[in-house]
Amino acid sequence: MTMNWGYKLFFTFIVFAILMSWLVYRAFQTDFQLVEKEYYKSELRYQEVIDGTKRVNALASEVSLSQENETIILQLPDEMNNLPVVGTIWFYCAYDGAKDIRLELKPDAAGKQQIASAALQPGTYTAKIQWKQAGKDYYSERKLIMTR
């Protein structure tokens, strides 16, 4: 038994409609997260990031971030030792905003801060470190891969 062209055309439209419905369903199930919720405000302040990065690059030593056992160790440049520093550390997870954590920067006299690694879930983070010292802004980014 052979089908005439009308049935073939009808069958093609039905398959197309089912495929399109499935694609629309999948599109609505996808979770799209913005890089930042207040993207426009961050973009306006980006010159501060550029200036802060230049200041950090001009220092003799650099910011380091390492994981030792159950602790994350942040070491500010040696020029910041024994100086009052105010700032934040933002552990930014690009693919899951629920993993992001912001902490206050509280280095000791040697410019070192220890953070319990239990505060972070496993994943890849960009640590965005921003601080002020003597009225000057400093900014640095470091990659961190958390494992358990």
Token pair belonging to 59? 């220092």
* Cross-strand partners of 81: none
Single-letter amino acid, residue 136: K
Amino acid 11: pLDDT: 94
Q: What rounded mean pLDDT belongs to the chain?
A: 88
> Does the pLDDT at position 34 exceed 70?
no
Token pair belonging to 141? 């980014």
Rounded Cα distance, 47 and 74, in Å: 24
> Does the pLDDT at position 38 exceed 80?
no
Amino acid 74: pLDDT: 93
Q: What CATH superfamily is the domain 39-146?
A: Immunoglobulins (2.60.40.10)
> Does the pLDDT at position 40 exceed 90?
no
Tell me the pTM.
0.71
Q: Which DSSP string corresponds to 9-29?
A: HHHHHHHHHHHHHHHHHHHHH
Amino acid 31: pLDDT: 72
CA dihedral sign, ordered 26, 29, 33, 37: positive
* Cross-strand partners of 137: 132
Amino acid 1: pLDDT: 60
Amino acid 10: pLDDT: 93
Q: Where are the domains of the chain?
A: 1-30, 39-146
Query: How many Cα atoms within 13 Å fall on the side-chain side of residue 104?
Result: 4
Rounded Cα distance, 46 and 23, in Å: 38
